[in-house]
Structure formats: structure tokens, C-alpha cells
Amino acid sequence: MAFSVTPPAKPLLDVLSGARRVPPPVWMMRQAGRYLPEYRAVREKAGGFLDLCFTPELAAEVTLQPIRRFGFDAAIIFSDILVVPHALGRAVRFEAGEGPRLDPLDTAEQIAALPTRADAATFAPVYEALRLTRAALDPAVTLLGFCGAPWTVATYMVAGHGTPDQAPARMFAYREPQAFAALIDRLTETSIDYLAAQLQAGADAVQIFDTWAGVLPPREFARWCAAPVRRIVEGVRAKVPGAKIIGFPRGVGALLGDFVERTGVDAVSIDWAAEPAFVRERVQTRVAVQGNLDPLALIAGGDALDRAVDDVLENFGTGRLIFNLGHGIQPQTPIAHVERMLRRVRG
Ligand code: CP3
């Protein structure tokens, strides 16, 4: 006898689709990482950081670790935003304690010489890791794919490393706007294909990380952040109709409303400095809000953590909320504090 079984609801996907959930679904940016002993063990076994990203079994394993330990509502595929420049032929290295290193890309000639298409073989292990993760994951857990926004990825490509305010890319964009636009275009096209393929490989939704959106004046923000993200949202939905997309334009403050209107994302991840009344009125009326516990409150623990958790719930719990941090969890965070946060969020 043939009968169909309704798949169990995914609380996080429900919120992206328009529902309010109490308690809110919860996960943490960088939830697989060095604060977990089981991550450090696999990381050591893998050798280099990119070896970990590009070995599907290991990437799937570290993606699942925080779900097993904490029961989060979302798993985010373990990878990095810099796999995109890697697939465009730029050497990417991760040196211990120093963050990423690339060969700087700071002339119009170098940008013109970038390949038109990313190397498909580079991304294949990421898709395989998504398939393995999906197969092992509780169906109620939302699986997230991701990429960096073109602006943020470009800041690392131009400078060759992270800087306090990404001045090298800002300067290059002023001095060589046409060359910089060509770089942003290349990243935009690559990101559309990459995110659509992640959704086809089993991701339920994707997040676009624009960690450095907040260093730009409004005019530059509209051109280099909002417009390319809009193109990605439209391009991905043309390939995968109804694709659910979360944006994270970190640090943009009052431009958040503008970002939501211009890009068409389903949710925005907000940093801890976002002003609650503004976000409720201008942002949460249109899209779901994800965030925004200060990662330092999670390190501090105790009453400071409890108060910070309650603030997030009070500020945004009346609308569509995905509980998260305002940025990634830091390596020195005690595991007991994550457990305390979860008990408080889930009541
Ligand atoms: O959220 C997750 O758990 C998924 C995995 C993930 C990583 N990087 C793994 C990682 C995600 C979503 C990212 C995104 C990313 N990578 C961003 C955007 C989000 C943000 O945090 O701002 C950026 C700017 C990068 C670039 C990058 N990768 C930097 C600056 C660094 C060094 C910082 C650090 O913590 O060392 C990385 C390395 C990196 N990416 C690590 C992890 C777990 C640490 C490397 C290690 O384990 O040795």
C-alpha cells in the first residue's frame, strides 16, 4: 500500500517561510570550531584547514559535531568564504593564529586575467559534504549552505589578508572602479552558481556573509554590497525557485532597512549593536531577524549572559526570530556557557 509521510517540520525553515516560533530556533555562527575539543581533534587529523574543508567525510563530521552536542536547529556546512577565490585560481593559505593569506589582487590586469568560470572540481567536495551531512542529519534540523558576499570576499582578495577596516579594497574601489566592478561581477556570477548548487546538493537555505559591509559609506554600500547581493538573490531564485536566503550585512546600522528592501532576502542576521526599536519597525515587519547575542557575553557567562539572552528574546521575540550570535563564537568560549544559553533560550 502506498502512503505518504509528511516530513517533520523544520522550525528554522518555518521562520524563514513566514512563521513565528516560540521558543525561537537557535544556532550559532562558527558553531563548528576551535572551542570544541572534538573539532580540534579532527582539525589535527586533517592537516591543513583547507584539507578539512575539501575532505567531504571530515567536513560533514565537524558540521554534525555541534548538532550532536547541543541539538541546534541548524547545521551550517563546514567550509569557508575563501573557497571561492581558491576556485578562481587564487592561492589561499590559512596560517595558524594569523588568519587567511592570499596573494594580493590589486591591479586591473590581474583582475582581467581571472578565469571566467570557477573550477568546478574545487567545489565538488563541498557538495558531497552537503549530501553526506543531509543523509546523517535529523530531518527537523535545517541544513544551511553559505558563501561570502562579493564585497567581503573581494576585501580579502585585494589586500591578501584581513585588516582592521579593509582600507586596501576601499581605496582600490575608489581608484579603479571599473576593475573593481569586474571583480565584484566575477564573484557575483560564481556565487550564484555556487549557492544554487549547494541548494541542489541538499542545503535547505543559504546565508550570504557580508562581514565587512559596515565599513562603507552609503553610496558605496549600495553599489558594492546591496546591488551584488540582490543579483545573487535573483540569480539563485532563477535557478532554484523559492530559495530561502539569509543576509548578514554586518555593522550597517541604519542601512539595514535599505538592505532588506534592495536585496529581497528572507531574513537578516544582525550584529549586537543593532538598535532594537529600529529593527523591529523597519526590518522585522518585512523579514525574519537572526541574532544577536554579543559573543563576549557568551564568554563572560553568568548574570551578564543571562541578561544578554533575555534582551535578545525581549527585543525580537515578539516577531519572527532565529536566535543566534551577533558574529561568530570565539575559540575561548566555555562550552558550559553555550549550554546555559540554550537552556535559557529554550526555557
Ligand atoms: O559557521 C560555521 O560554523 C561554518 C564555517 C565557517 C567558517 N568560516 C569556518 C572557519 C564560516 C561560515 C566561515 C565564514 C567566514 N570565513 C567569514 C564570514 C563570517 C565571519 O565570521 O565574519 C569570514 C570573514 C571568513 C574568513 C576567515 N576564515 C577568517 C578571517 C578566518 C580566521 C579567523 C579565525 O577564527 O581564525 C578564517 C578561518 C576559519 N574559518 C576558521 C573556521 C572554523 C578557523 C580556522 C581553524 O580552525 O584553524
Known catalytic membership, residue 80: yes
Could you tell me the CA-to-CA distances from 177 to 49, 141, 190 in Å, in that order?
33, 42, 20
Model confidence pLDDT, tens digit, residues 171-217 = 999 999 999 999 999 999 999 999 999 999 999 999 999 999 999 99
Q: Is residue 5 part of a domain?
A: no
Report pLDDT for 95: 84
The more confidently predicted of residues 5 and 232 is 232
How many residues would you count in the chain? Answer: 347
The span from the CA of 204 to the CA of 263, in Å, is: 19
Q: Is residue 6 part of a domain?
A: no
**C-alpha torsion sign, points 14, 15, 21, 27:** positive
Using an 8 Å Cβ cutoff, are 65 and 41 in contact? no
Report pLDDT for 2: 55
| Minimal-distance CA residue to ligand 1 atom 17 | 81
Domain that residue 124 falls in? 11-346
| Minimal-distance CA residue to ligand 1 atom 21 | 328
Residue of 35, 39, 80, 250 marked catalytic: 80
146: left (phi over 0), alpha (psi -120 to 50) or beta: beta
Q: Is residue 27 part of a domain?
A: yes
Locate the ligand 1 atom nearest the alpha carbon of residue 148 and give its number. 18
User: Residue 31 phi/psi, 5° resolution?
Assistant: -65, -25
- Give residue ranges with CB within 6 A of ligand 1: 29-34, 43, 49, 76, 78, 80-82, 94, 99-100, 146, 148, 162, 209, 211, 328
| Minimal-distance CA residue to ligand 1 atom 46 | 49
Give the 3-state DSSP-derived string for 115-156, with helices as H, strands as E and coil as C.
CCCCCHHHHHHHHHHHHHHHHHCCCCCEEEEEEECHHHHHHH
Q: Is residue 3 part of a domain?
A: no
Expressed in angstroms and rounded, the spacing between residue 99 Cα and the centre of ligand 1 is: 9
Expressed in angstroms and rounded, the spacing between residue 244 Cα and the centre of ligand 1 is: 22
Model confidence pLDDT, tens digit, residues 307-320 = 999 999 999 999 99
Report pLDDT for 63: 98
What is the band of 3 on the pLDDT scale with cuts at 50, 70, 90?
A: low
Expressed in angstroms and rounded, the spacing between residue 139 Cα and the centre of ligand 1 is: 26
Mean of per-residue pLDDT scores for the chain: 96
| Minimal-distance CA residue to ligand 1 atom 1 | 30
Q: Is residue 1 part of a domain?
A: no
Q: What is the mean pLDDT of residues 5-26?
A: 92
Residue of 35, 39, 127, 156 marked catalytic: 156
Locate the ligand 1 atom nearest the alpha carbon of residue 34 and give its number. 47
Q: Is residue 4 part of a domain?
A: no
Pick from 31-40, 73-82, 93-102, 252-261: least confident: 93-102
Q: How many CB atoms lie within 10 A of CB 252?
A: 24
Residue of 35, 43, 127, 230 marked catalytic: 43
Locate the ligand 1 atom nearest the alpha carbon of residue 77 and give its number. 4
Model confidence pLDDT, tens digit, residues 30-45 = 999 999 999 999 999 9
Known catalytic membership, residue 174: no
Q: What is the mean pLDDT of residues 299-326?
A: 98
Q: What is the mean pLDDT of residues 135-143?
A: 98
In the predicted model, is pLDDT for residue 4 greater than 90? no
Question: Please, what's the b/e burial string for 286-309 (b: 16 or more CB within 10 A of its CB; e: otherwise)?
Answer: ebbbbbbbbbbbbbebeeebeebb
Expressed in angstroms and rounded, the spacing between residue 145 Cα and the centre of ligand 1 is: 14
Expressed in angstroms and rounded, the spacing between residue 30 Cα and the centre of ligand 1 is: 7
> Structural domain tally of the chain?
1
Owner of C-alpha cell 550570504: 208
Q: Is residue 48 part of a domain?
A: yes
Spell out the residues 6+ positions from residue 63 whose beta carbon is closer than 8 angstroms to its own: 32, 75, 76, 77, 78, 129, 133
Expressed in angstroms and rounded, the spacing between residue 156 Cα and the centre of ligand 1 is: 13
Expressed in angstroms and rounded, the spacing between residue 6 Cα and the centre of ligand 1 is: 36
What is the band of 160 on the pLDDT scale with cuts at 50, 70, 90?
A: very high
Q: Is residue 177 part of a domain?
A: yes
Q: What is the mean pLDDT of residues 295-304?
A: 98
Side-chain half-sphere of 223: how many Cα atoms within 13 Å? 13
What is the band of 7 on the pLDDT scale with cuts at 50, 70, 90?
A: low
Which triple of cell numbers denotes residue 304?
551578564
Spell out the residues 6+ positions from residue 342 whose beta carbon is closer than 8 angstroms to its own: 26, 70, 71
Report pLDDT for 6: 72
Pairing state between β 142-148 and 99-102: unpaired
Locate the ligand 1 atom nearest the alpha carbon of residue 33 and give its number. 43
Known catalytic membership, residue 30: yes
| Domain CATH for 251 | 3.20.20.210
The span from the CA of 140 to the CA of 151, in Å, is: 33
| Minimal-distance CA residue to ligand 1 atom 36 | 99
In the predicted model, is pLDDT for residue 5 greater than 90? no
| Minimal-distance CA residue to ligand 1 atom 25 | 81
The span from the CA of 76 to the CA of 133, in Å, is: 10
